[in-house]
Amino acid sequence: MTREEKNAIVQDLVSQLKTAPNVYVTDAGGLTVAQVNDLRRMSFKAGIELRVVKNTLLRKAMEASGKDYSGVFPELQQQSSVFFVGENYKVPAKLIKDFRKKGAKPALKVAYVDESVFVGDDQLDVLQNLKGKNELIGEVIGLLQSPIQTLLGQLSSGGTTIAGVLKTLEER
């Protein structure tokens, strides 16, 4: 591969990292061509791009992207398959777990999600259950609305109680 080809791949990876900043790096070594094609098909259906990339080119692209991917670098060894994910960062964890019902691979090496690094295959459950920014904002809004709704409920029920007492007194 010539230097120009490598530079073109790095620039393509940089643009991909800017559009899909969440990355799952997996070890897919030992998978057959049919298994890799199935994994690619599942990824495509889920809206995730799966690429097999040389580790040095991926590292150069991560360095040039402007984000701090330094926690990922120690895990970039051996053959790597990379899932590039946008906002739906939980989907690859679920996809990997579903695919592994048929075998032991792909194994998660490292994941970079919302500027956090998750190292090791045991982090798949954590990634699958991780709450996103929008989910957390929704929970905070719900918690903030709860006291107001309770107060409004008590005030409206108190109004009917007072009205009932006044009506009873009037009838007497």
Per CATH, the number for 3-130 is 3.30.70.1730
Instruction: Please tell me the predicted confidence (pLDDT) of residue 155.
Output: 64
Q: What is the pLDDT of residues 23-81, one digit of tens each?
A: 888 887 778 888 888 888 888 888 888 888 888 888 888 888 888 888 888 888 888 88
Instruction: Please tell me the predicted confidence (pLDDT) of residue 48.
Output: 87
CA-nearest of 28, 66, 33 to 50 is: 28
| Percent of the chain surpassing pLDDT 70 | 91
Provide the CA 49 distance to its chain's centre, in angstroms. 13
> Does residue 12 carry a pLDDT above 70?
yes
**Domain spans of the chain?**
3-130, 132-172
State how far the Cα of 172 lies from the Cα of 160, in Å rounded to an integer. Answer: 18
Cβ-based neighbour number of residue 73 at 10 Å: 15
How much is the mean pLDDT over the chain?
A: 81
> Does residue 147 carry a pLDDT above 70?
yes
Distances in Å between the alpha carbon of 96 and those of 41, 76, 87, 127, 172? 13, 18, 17, 11, 74
Q: Taking the model in full, what pTM does it have? A: 0.71
